[in-house]
């Protein structure tokens, strides 16, 4: 009887360990989508006819990719009419991220861009292009929120603004994150597995005890 009890306890302990390792690893290793939120401001230098209005944005990846556009654009440029003339200047975009938190290096970042083109007094005959200085694949950020770690990349699109028109500033988004703690579903799975193993162990002990009494 004692030998059987010890064997049952050892089997139970091994099963518990295996279930715990499996479920906890599932909670930690599964990659999740990442949500990026924030606000923008911008400064134009050298082209007084060009103005920029910042915006609040939120974007969530789907299968690792997404975009910031439409109501979640990074901002809007407007180019006023003027005398026909070539122009050149600079633009600085300031982004303050509100999510995710814990971004390495801080929640704020700046992008610089070159403004080139011409302004015209006649509609649809002039315009300027804003080209951002950034890595070919975009600027990457890593973060640790305290419950999740991950990274995301922003690639800010080049913008052309026609004289007398407006244009949105948009960006491509990619990234993922991993939970550092088991999710509720993972914890429930672990608890269900442990309860099942405990019940199985009790039934084996009862059967062994009944067999011993009969003999």
Per DSSP, the residues of 129-176 read EEEE---TT-EEEEEE-SSEEEEEEEEEPPEEEETT-EEEE-EEEEEE
Beta bridge partners of 46: none
Q: Is residue 100 located within the same domain as residue 194? A: no
Same domain, 168 and 187: no
pLDDT for residue 150:
98
In a shared domain, residues 112 and 203: no
pLDDT digits (tens), the chain, 215 positions: 555 444 555 554 555 555 555 544 544 446 799 999 999 999 999 999 999 999 999 999 999 999 999 999 999 999 999 989 999 999 999 999 999 999 999 999 999 999 999 999 887 789 999 999 999 999 999 999 999 999 999 999 999 999 999 999 999 999 999 997 665 555 555 555 556 555 665 666 666 666 666 55
Closest by CA to 36, choosing from 169, 151, 158, is: 151
Which pLDDT value is given to residue 198? Answer: 58
The verdict on 55 and 112 lying in the same domain is yes
Q: Which domain holds residue 13?
A: 2-29+183-214
User: Do 62 and 119 reside in the same domain of the chain?
Assistant: yes
- How many beta carbons lie within 10 A of that of residue 71, not counting itself? 9
Q: Are 172 and 191 within one domain?
A: no
Q: Are residues 15 and 118 in the same domain?
A: no
Q: What does the pLDDT read at residue 3?
A: 56
Q: 135 and 57, same structural domain?
A: yes
Do 192 and 156 lie in a common domain? no
Residue 27 has what pLDDT?
45
Q: Given this model, what pLDDT does residue 120 score?
A: 92
Residue 200 shares a structural domain with residue 162 = no
For residues 141 and 191, membership in a common domain is answered with no
Sign of CA dihedral 25, 26, 27, 32: positive
DSSP 103: B
- Number of domains, the chain: 2
CA nearest neighbour of 38 among 128, 118, 103: 103
pTM: 0.73
Assign 76 to helix, strand or coil.
strand
Does 130 share its domain with 210? no
- Looking at residue 80, its pLDDT comes to 96
The SS3 call for residue 55 is coil
């Amino acid at each position: 009887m004692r030998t059987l009890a010890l064997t049952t306890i050892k089997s139970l302990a091994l099963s518990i360990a295996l279930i715990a390792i499996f479920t906890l690893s599932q909670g930690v290793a599964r990659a999740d989508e990442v949500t990026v939120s924030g606000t923008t401001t911008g400064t134009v230098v050298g082209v007084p006819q060009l103005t920029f209005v910042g915006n609040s944005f939120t974007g969530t990846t789907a299968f690792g990719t997404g975009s910031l556009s439409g109501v979640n654009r990074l901002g809007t440029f407007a180019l006023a009419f003027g005398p026909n003339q070539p122009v050149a200047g600079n633009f600085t975009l300031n982004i303050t991220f509100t999510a995710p938190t814990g971004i390495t290096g801080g929640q704020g970042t700046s992008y610089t861009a070159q403004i080139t083109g011409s302004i015209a007094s006649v509609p649809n005959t002039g315009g300027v292009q804003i080209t951002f200085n950034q890595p070919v694949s975009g600027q990457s950020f890593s973060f640790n929120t305290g419950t999740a770690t991950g990274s995301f990349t922003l690639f800010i699109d080049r913008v052309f603004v026609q004289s007398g028109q407006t244009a949105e500033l948009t960006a491509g988004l990619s990234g993922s994150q991993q939970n550092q703690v088991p999710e509720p579903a993972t914890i429930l799975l672990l608890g269900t597995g442990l309860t099942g193993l405990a019940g199985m162990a009790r039934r084996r002990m009862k059967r062994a005890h009944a067999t011993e009494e009969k003999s």
